[in-house]
């Protein structure tokens, strides 16, 4: 991120985007879309985030395309965050950990998204496997979907919100790590004043903060300062359609990503200087 800027570009080949790019909604269209996105962005952005579901919907051949996306993106120098949002228990969670966090698997990425809402300790297999191989985990905390608050902002018996409890667990998991731990959280850029009022949550968890919702979901880069407050330097904004809608021209894709990177760098500079 120091070299390329703090930005995560999603690779979400949903049917509408395939059609907008003049591609067929099949494995051939999927492969052309994914290859173009990686070739355009792999040497430009710090972090690429393929959404696994849009590859899985095409069956085993779609998963094979996803394997190539991970390998090609990493070969281009980008980190890969595989967006799978898995959450389960016991041996099943260990199987997910083996799939996404163990280099022996062709689906292993630099980091993976997980859901803690079967209890934070249900994530232990992923946390331990990722740590053993130097990989990262992003835990869902305050998501950008409108249905999230009924669970995430619910209050527990000790008066904390459910999301706040998860943030506390992540903070504990990162204790002592410098400069940041490898367990991050997902906090939507559309969640209002989560750090400065709103839910009153402390977002300084000692790890990176993935902030989806820029662009098509309604948030702007400027909103990041309001949502994250003092935790802004740890934020990795994420956008998918905001960048991908510029395709299929690789130069336009690269320019769209670079504009967001420049906007984020400008925001961080102004925040650090008080400008």
Task: Identify the three-state secondary structure at position 1.
Answer: coil
Residue 269 burial (CB count, 10 A): 10
Catalytic annotation present for 259? no
Long-range own/partner contacts, residues 171-176 (CB < 8 A, 24 or more apart): 171/202, 171/204, 171/205, 171/206, 173/127, 173/207, 174/205, 174/206, 174/207, 175/206
**Choice among 4, 35, 74, 85 that is catalytic:** 85
What are the start-end ranges of the E strands in 87-218? 111-114, 136-142, 183-187, 209-212
Q: Spell out the alpha helix ranges (H) of 42-176.
A: 52-56, 59-75, 90-101, 124-132, 149-152, 162-173
What's the count of helices (H) and strands (E) in the chain, helices before strands?
A: 11, 8
Q: Is the Cβ–Cβ distance between 43 and 78 less than 8 Å?
A: yes
Active site residues: 85
């Amino acid at each position: 991120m120091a070299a390329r800027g703090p930005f995560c570009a999603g690779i979400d080949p949903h049917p509408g985007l395939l059609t907008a790019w003049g591609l067929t909604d099949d494995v051939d269209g999927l492969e052309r879309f994914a290859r173009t996105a990686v070739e355009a962005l792999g040497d430009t952005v710090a972090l690429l985030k393929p959404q696994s579901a849009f590859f899985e919907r095409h069956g085993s051949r779609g998963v094979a395309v996803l394997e190539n996306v991970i390998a090609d993106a990493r070969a281009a120098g980008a980190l890969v965050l595989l967006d799978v949002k898995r959450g389960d228990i016991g041996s099943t969670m260990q199987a997910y950990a083996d799939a996404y966090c163990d280099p022996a698997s062709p689906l292993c990425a630099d980091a993976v998204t997980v859901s803690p809402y079967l209890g934070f300790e249900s994530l232990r297999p992923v946390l331990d496997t990722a740590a053993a191989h130097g990989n990262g985990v992003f835990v869902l905390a305050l998501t950008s979907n409108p249905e999230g608050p009924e669970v995430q902002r619910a209050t527990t018996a000790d008066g904390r919100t459910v999301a706040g409890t998860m943030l506390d667990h992540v903070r504990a998991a990162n204790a002592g790590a410098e400069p940041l731990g490898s367990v991050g959280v997902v906090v939507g850029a559309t969640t209002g004043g989560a750090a400065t009022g709103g839910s009153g949550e402390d977002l300084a968890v000692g790890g990176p903060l993935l902030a989806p919702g820029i662009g098509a979901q309604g948030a702007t880069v400027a909103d990041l300062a309001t949502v994250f407050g003092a935790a802004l330097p740890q934020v990795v904004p994420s956008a998918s359609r905001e960048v991908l809608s510029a395709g299929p021209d690789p130069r336009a894709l690269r320019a769209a990503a670079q504009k967001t990177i420049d906007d984020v760098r400008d925001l961080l500079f102004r925040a650090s200087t008080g400008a």
